[in-house]
Amino acid sequence: MKLFRQSKQQFFSRMLTVSLLMLISSSLYASPLTTEQRIDDLLQGYFSLNQFNGVALVAHHDKVLLHKGFGYANFEWDVKHVTTGQFKIASVTKQFTALLILQLVEQNKLQLDQTISHYLPSYRQDTGNKITIRQLLNHTSGLGNFFHLQEYQATEARNPYSREEFIQIFCSEDLLFEPGTKFRYSNAGYTILGHLIEQITGKTYQQVLQENIFNPAGMTKSGFNNQQQVVKQRVEGYERTLNSFKRPTHVDMSVPYSAGAIYSTSHDLQLWHQALQKNLLLSKALTKVLYQVSAHRNYAAGWLVDDVKTNNNLTYTKVHHGGGIQGFNASIARILEDDLLVVLLNNTGGAPMTEMTNNIINIVYNMPVNEPKLRFSQQLFQQISKNGLEQAKAWYLSQVSQDNGFSERGLNNFGYELIEAGEIEAAITFFEINSKAHPKSANVYHSLAEAYEQKAELALALTNYQLALNLTTDDKSALINKIKQLKTQIQ
């Protein structure tokens, strides 16, 4: 019996040893996360931090590594994203407009170094005789972006316009610099390009898009965003606030037009990528022009162009572009030599698309990745919510002492976000911090005055409107009228 007990003990000891060895062996040789899983985990991280809500597609040599929706296409009805959802892609539209222009060059209907006035004689002659089509494509025309114009700000892009009317009002201002000497991103330039396409072809921009790009590429879920049209699986757009969501302001699609009015799906943008890779829409010679940057910026024709170095010391060409419009932002990035595609479509505005795209590319090439983290505004709002306003203020000032604070504009924007979140007292506190940091800025006093007015502290509002009036170099009439109105209310 004694011998049997010893044998039994030896048996269980051996079994325990074998089990431990098997466990260690399995942990040593367990498969690491696949590329697909790492990309999914990364995007889940951005989603969990309320920084991405949309659809992502990643494809490498036509193999789809990830195609997935995150969050909701419609928050009111709790409708989750599907991969066939149709999004506004905003300025990603520009690469389609650029390709249509180069197709006209290929058909000998247009010359890149000819001027606007040659094709559009009704355009303002003194500037139209200076600006070339190539300069419109690569944003070296000297034209502005029309967002700053008072006429644009007054309408807030709600009104519909005829093409000629819009160009005359918003795309014909004095030049900011001599054409061809600098870079300045210009929606006005791409609006003119769309009008030029219509004038040369005798068709609408929408028709030319459909016939020359969407139909040949098989992009059946893409189109020009006509708001009256019923579009199946059209995704709703929202703006994310610090603690919720809101509906975006209305934009009539005659405003973004050929600079930003296309809608599409992640799969259709993959078809677009494939058509470009295979030169189905444009010759190789002119495709090179599509990616040919100017001397002033890494911007070509509807595409930004950068080098990407991989972990094996190869250097690839990344062509990419983002877009943002009320309620949406979009991004497409392509590695030309390695047939890699990253598409991100978001319907809550403000997703960190560049960071997300770069992280996905780094995962594919097994390079270091920056893990998703809370934005600074999210961290600060979290401080307010958890620790109270005074501690949040102290925390922010400690960040400023370490050069981690907001810029003047960033802090001003944060103040307005606080107002939207119902935190008027906090908004006043941070507007006051901004006014002390930038005592010669009319804008910070104007913002502080608006916050005091919303809190019904009219005397303080009046004081700050007057400070803004004394400092402003812009048109003073609106401020003068506001001050008169407040004085009457106070009396």
Indicate which CATH number applies to the domain containing 151: 3.40.710.10
Rounded to an integer, what distance in angstroms lies between the CA atom of residue 451 and that of residue 419?
Answer: 8
In a domain, 136, yes or no: yes
Q: Is 144 left (phi over 0), alpha (psi -120 to 50) or beta?
A: beta
Q: Are 195 and 237 part of one and the same domain? A: yes
Q: What is the pLDDT of residue 169?
A: 87
pLDDT tens digits along 204-237: 999 999 999 999 999 999 999 987 788 899 999 9
Phi, psi dihedrals of residue 304, rounded to the nearest 5°: -85, 145
Contact 485, 462 (CB under 8 A): no
Q: Are 108 and 211 part of one and the same domain? A: yes
Cα→Cα distances 344→57, 67, 320, 334, Å? 7, 10, 11, 12
In a domain, 15, yes or no: no
Question: Computed from CA positions of residues 255, 257, 258, 263, in that sequence, does the dihedral angle turn out positive or negative?
Answer: positive
Phi, psi dihedrals of residue 28, rounded to the nearest 5°: -70, -35
Q: What is the pLDDT of residue 151?
A: 57
Q: What is the pLDDT of residue 58?
A: 98
Domain boundary among 311, 342, 364: 364
Cα→Cα distances 244→306, 365, 421, 451, Å? 36, 36, 8, 20
Rounded to an integer, what distance in angstroms lies between the CA atom of residue 148 and that of residue 30?
Answer: 57
Range of the domain at 247: 88-364
Domain boundary among 364, 388, 404: 364
Q: Are 193 and 142 part of one and the same domain? A: yes
Q: Are 149 and 205 part of one and the same domain? A: yes
Q: Are 234 and 278 part of one and the same domain? A: yes
Name the H helices within 330-474: 353-364, 376-387, 389-401, 408-420, 424-437, 442-454, 458-471
Rounded to an integer, what distance in angstroms lies between the CA atom of residue 477 and that of residue 149?
Answer: 16
Q: Are 353 and 223 part of one and the same domain? A: yes
Q: Are 143 and 204 part of one and the same domain? A: yes
Rounded to an integer, what distance in angstroms lies between the CA atom of residue 299 and that of residue 333?
Answer: 14
In a domain, 27, yes or no: no
- Packing angle of the helix pair 424-437, 442-454 (nearest 10 deg): 160
Quote the number of domains for the chain. Answer: 2
In a domain, 78, yes or no: no
Q: What is the pLDDT of residue 252?
A: 87
Q: What is the pLDDT of residue 22?
A: 47
In a domain, 282, yes or no: yes
Q: Are 318 and 183 part of one and the same domain? A: yes
By residue count, the chain amounts to: 491
Q: What is the residue type of 316?
A: Y
Q: Are 228 and 197 part of one and the same domain? A: yes
Q: What is the pLDDT of residue 95?
A: 98
Output the six-digit token pair for 436: 């002390």
In a domain, 393, yes or no: yes
Q: Are 294 and 396 part of one and the same domain? A: no
Q: Are 326 and 408 part of one and the same domain? A: no
Q: Are 339 and 381 part of one and the same domain? A: no
Q: What is the pLDDT of residue 234?
A: 95
Rounded to an integer, what distance in angstroms lies between the CA atom of residue 156 and that of residue 150?
Answer: 10
Output the six-digit token pair for 136: 């419109």
Domain boundary among 364, 387, 420: 364
Low-confidence ranges of the chain (pLDDT < 50): 1-13, 15-30
In a domain, 76, yes or no: no
In a domain, 62, yes or no: no
Q: What is the CATH number of the domain that holds 443?
A: 1.25.40.10
